[in-house]
Structure 1
Amino acid sequence: MNHIVISFVGTDKPGLVDKLSNIVKAHNGNWQNSSLHHLSGTFAGVIEVSASESDISALDKALSTIEDLNIITQTTSPSSDDEATSVTLELTANDRSGIVQDISSVIHQQNGNLLKLVSKQGAAPHTGQTMFSAKAQISVNDNHIDDLIQALENIADDLMVDISK
């Protein structure tokens, strides 16, 4: 089986996921993973679908017929990295410009690969101060996990890092 990664953005309206899932089903695709979000009046997402090589081309063509969505597709094969361990980081800090760049730079410098990042801003419960929080899934060699955590904690005094495997 090959995979097709579908990314899209467009004005949010009811029925978009139904249209996408109907096209996937009609072309014998198997919806593997997805991340779908409503952001500032837009609907954006990424979907991974597995399908036979013969169905992927037709699936790709059918996706381009959906009005009001800008869609980009990439055909790929699943990969595996046997030496890396997947860890989840929960990060919390005072919000500031450039915090995502600082975090992603440290992950890269410590030979980690950022697999998934979900972040948000919110008010701290007692002070109302704007806080940054994120949950990141990282692929990193077991030998580099401690160095990665230490480097992340050195970004700023207020950055808290919790890790789980």
Structure 2
Amino acid sequence: MHHLVITAIGTDRPGICNRITNIISQASGNIIDSRIAIFGSEFTLIMLVSGEASAITRIETLLPVMGSAQDLMVVMKRTATHQTPSYIYKIDIKIEAEDKVGLIDAFTHFFSQRELSISKLSAKTLTKETDPQAHQKHFSISMTGLSKDAPVPDGLQADFNQLCQSLAVTGTIKISYHE
């Protein structure tokens, strides 16, 4: 069994996802995991596909042709079998704030300094209508970090709270141990 990570980006329109999944199915590929999002007017997809070597080769051959015809940028990379990461503990953080430049950088830096692997990151800017005359931008971040090291670094909670305070954001952190 071979595995392929596929990323596709292009102008959003009806049927674009089906064109991609149809090529994968017709080539006898199996979709293991996928995510789709719309950013601005762009359709974005990331997908993990498995199949026999011949199926993966067909996908690698056919998707770029379809992508070119559909004005999609398609990037593919062969990879290993998906394995659930082995870790000692998991850290989930949630941040709510007024939108401002640098928030994601500050929290990814927080994880990086502590050698925590980011396994999930979701961030959204929303317009919050608190006053009919003004449109305030509200920002939400959700991140998960994994660590193979034990114990939890000393002061992690205090450092997180201090970072939230220095950035004037509301945040929560939850640390759970893997059994």
Which category of TM-score, normalised to the shorter sequence, fits these structures? 0.7 to 0.9
Q: Distance in 1 between matches of 2:90 and 2:38?
A: 27
**Shift in CA distance, 83/149, structure 1 to aligned 2, threshold 3 Å:** same
2:125 to 121, 126, 136: 121
**Aligned-partner Cα distance in 1 for 2:158–2:3:** 36
When normalised by structure 1's length, the TM-score is 0.85
1:132 is aligned to 139
Tell me if structure 2 keeps the 8 A contact 1:94–1:159.
Answer: no
Q: Distance in 1 between matches of 2:41 and 2:127?
A: 22
Distance in structure 2 (CA, Å) of the matches to 1:138 and 1:44: 24
Deviation at 1:145, TM superposition (A): 6.8
Structure 1 residue 35, shift from structure 2 partner: 1.4
Q: Does 1:44 align with 2:51?
A: no
- Provide the secondary structure at the position in 1 that maps to 2:164: coil
Instruction: Name the count of aligned residue pairs.
Output: 165
Does structure 1 residue 81 correspond to structure 2 residue 81?
Answer: no
How far the C-alpha of 1:80 sits from its partner, in A, is: 4.7
1:36-95 superposed Cα distances (whole Å, 9 cap, x missing partner): 111211111211111222321111111111221100001000345323444443222222
Aligned residue type for 1:26: Q
Please give the alpha-carbon distance, in whole angstroms, between the structure 1 residues aligned to 2:35 and 2:151. Answer: 30
Deviates more, 1:143-152 or 1:65-74: 143-152
What's 2:31 paired with? 31
Moved more, 115-124 or 39-48: 115-124
Q: What residue in structure 1 maps to residue 170 of structure 2?
A: 159
**Letter paired with 1:163:** K
- Change in Cα spacing, 1:9 to 1:147, as seen in structure 2 (3 Å) is farther
Q: Give me the whole-angstrom Cα distance separating, in 2, the residues matched to 1:84 and 1:19.
A: 41
Contact 1:7 1:45 in 2 (8 A): yes
- Identity percentage of aligned residues: 21
The alignment's C-alpha RMSD in Å is 2.3
Greater mean deviation of Cα atoms: 114-123 or 8-17: 114-123
Q: Distance in 2 between matches of 1:30 and 1:150?
A: 45
Quote the residue 2:105 is aligned against.
101
Mark the runs of 5 or more structure 1 residues left unpaired by the alignment: none
| 1:22 counterpart SS class | helix
Q: Which runs of 5+ in 2 are unaligned?
A: none
**In the aligned structure 2, how far is the partner of 1:132 from the partner of 1:82?**
31
